[in-house]
Amino acid sequence: MSEFFTASAALSTSVSFTPSTPSVGQTVTFSATVSGGAPPYGVGWDFGDGQISVGLSTTHVFSNTGTFNVTAAVTDSATPAHIVITSVFVTVQPSISPDFQIFESPASLTIPQGGTGLATITLTSVGSFTGTVGLADTVCLADTVSPSGLSASFNVTSVQLSAGDSASSAVTLSASSLTGGFSVNVTGTSGSLSHSALVSVTVVSQGTPGFSLSVSSSSLKIPRGSSANLTVTLTSLTSFSGNVGLSASASATGAVMTFNPSTVTLSANHSANSLMTIAIAGTTTAHVYKITVTGTSGAISNSTAVTVRVLKHSIVKVQGLQTVQPGQTVSLMISPLALESGDSVTMNAIGLPQGATFDASTGLLTWTPALSQGGTYTITFIATHDGTPALADYQFVEITVQKEATACFICTLLPQNLNMFWLAVLGIGVGLFAAGTAGTVRVYRSARRTLRLNLRSL
């Protein structure tokens, strides 16, 4: 009689949650992906704050800030039941009310009599705007010009601001024959929220020497603890020549700006550049910086603004069974954390073993190692964020495929269901052979003794 047993794959689970950086009061969705064992499965959740739940998928709202160890205990329907416990760490940030910020670029400019100048008004969402997908408000722009003699017009008077995003409107400033200093107050309004930006304009007589100032990019994304470079370009106007000193200020602490060189020498009707470096401290709590870049030469001063959105470091999480038997399917979930709503992370895998597949869109690695693929394999997972500069996070993962024990050579020559019988027969045969050999040796030794005795008696 032969009995056949089917061994199920080991029970394994991986846990994911969204959003990746929740705030206090925000709904977080947790999901467990279970494989192996004997379905159906049961999942119990402990959120680390005294609250529990059940189900393959569940939601939870954290009422306090901090880092919580969320545990999922999975059981299957086997007898006895198998259990696997998996945990993830969830960092809950303080709740920030929906709001927006408004920035102008440049902050000051010089326009000749009867001429025009161009400024850009940038609106950036903050607070829960960054975490709520689909949230959008209409921001109405209005301008107040004082004193008269300068007019402003917007190419877009109503800006659609998407969640976690920025949008802008260009404002054209037209000067009359009146010279002097002017201020343009641009106000953005959305419901009860209202913020303003100020553009300073100097109208000069025709032919008055001066210079213009611009930067290579008015908007950047920089990770905490990192830096980015910009090119500041100064251009001589109306045969201006002289030294222009560069300086910069930030809207909050935690940003350091340097120039190389810090003083630029301009020749008449030419341009010159300076390399500006913006470094963001790793401990900063600011989400957005307004960096004002100013060039000064005597009584002439021009400035422009740069908006910097601060990114947290990317994190790659790897969840799933990493030690398997040949023929057992490996399922690893690679989870890059999108740093802000609207930002994108590109996944890649290097060193995949033969037969393994990696879906970059879902982060799922699947592999069923063959019998000949025993050993340890190292795979490098790379998550690249679209910040400036690009931020990459590397995670090295070792997958161990346990080698099969060497099979009994004699056993492989016999039918599987007769192995024990033939081994027993073989054992008996070996025993009888050994016993017979020993008996023969004893008889031979006895005969030799008898022969020696007979010879001596002669």
- β-strand pairing of 330-336 with 364-367: antiparallel
- Condensed to tens digits (0 to 9), the pLDDT of residues 292-311 reads 999 999 888 888 888 888 87
Percent of the chain scoring above 90 in pLDDT: 14
The answer, yes or no, to whether residue 315 has pLDDT greater than 80, is: no
The answer, yes or no, to whether residue 446 has pLDDT greater than 70, is: no
Question: What is 96-208's CATH topology?
Answer: Immunoglobulin-like (2.60.40)
Q: Tell me the CATH number for domain 209-311.
A: 2.60.40.10
Does CATH place domain 1-94 in 2.60.40.10? yes
pLDDT for position 148: 65
The answer, yes or no, to whether residue 288 has pLDDT greater than 90, is: no
Q: How confident is the model at residue 247 (pLDDT cuts 50, 70, 90)?
A: very high
Q: Who wins on pLDDT, 450 or 309?
A: 309
The answer, yes or no, to whether residue 116 has pLDDT greater than 60, is: yes
pLDDT for position 193: 79
As to burial, measured by CB atoms within 10 angstroms (0-12 exposed, 13-18 middle, 19+ buried), residue 129 is buried
Ranges of beta strands (E only) in 218-299 are: 219-223, 227-237, 242-250, 255-260, 263-266, 271-280, 288-297
- Condensed to tens digits (0 to 9), the pLDDT of residues 224-237 reads 788 889 999 998 88
Q: How confident is the model at residue 261 (pLDDT cuts 50, 70, 90)?
A: very high
Ranges of beta strands (E only) in 55-131 are: 57-61, 66-75, 83-92, 99-105, 108-112, 116-126
The answer, yes or no, to whether residue 40 has pLDDT greater than 80, is: yes
Q: How confident is the model at residue 275 (pLDDT cuts 50, 70, 90)?
A: very high
> How many other β-carbons are positioned within 10 Å of the β-carbon of residue 251?
16
Give the separation between CA 138 and CA 152, rounded to whole angstroms.
Answer: 21
- β-strand pairing of 57-61 with 27-35: antiparallel
pLDDT for position 340: 52
- The two three-digit tokens of residue 284, written as one number: 């900063």
Residue 180's region, left for phi above 0, alpha for psi from -120 to 50, else beta, is: left
pLDDT for position 434: 42
> How many other β-carbons are positioned within 10 Å of the β-carbon of residue 113?
16
Q: Is the dihedral of CA 256, 257, 261, 265 positive or negative?
A: negative
pLDDT for position 417: 44
- Condensed to tens digits (0 to 9), the pLDDT of residues 368-427 reads 999 888 888 988 887 776 654 556 666 778 888 887 654 444 444 444 444 444 344 344
Quick one: average pLDDT of 278-297? 86
Question: What is 324-427's CATH topology?
Answer: Immunoglobulin-like (2.60.40)
Sorted by where each begins, the domain ranges of the chain are 1-94, 96-208, 209-311, 324-427
pLDDT for position 138: 30
Work out the mean pLDDT of the chain and round it to a whole number.
75
- The two three-digit tokens of residue 6, written as one number: 């089917």
Q: How confident is the model at residue 219 (pLDDT cuts 50, 70, 90)?
A: confident
Fold match between domain 1-94 and domain 209-311:
yes
Q: Who wins on pLDDT, 293 or 439?
A: 293
Q: Who wins on pLDDT, 447 or 170?
A: 170
- Condensed to tens digits (0 to 9), the pLDDT of residues 72-111 reads 888 888 888 888 888 888 888 777 677 777 888 777 778 8
Percent of the chain scoring above 70 in pLDDT: 74
pLDDT for position 242: 92
pLDDT for position 128: 54
56-65, 190-199, 227-236, 257-266: which has the minimum mean pLDDT? 190-199
pTM check: above 0.85: no
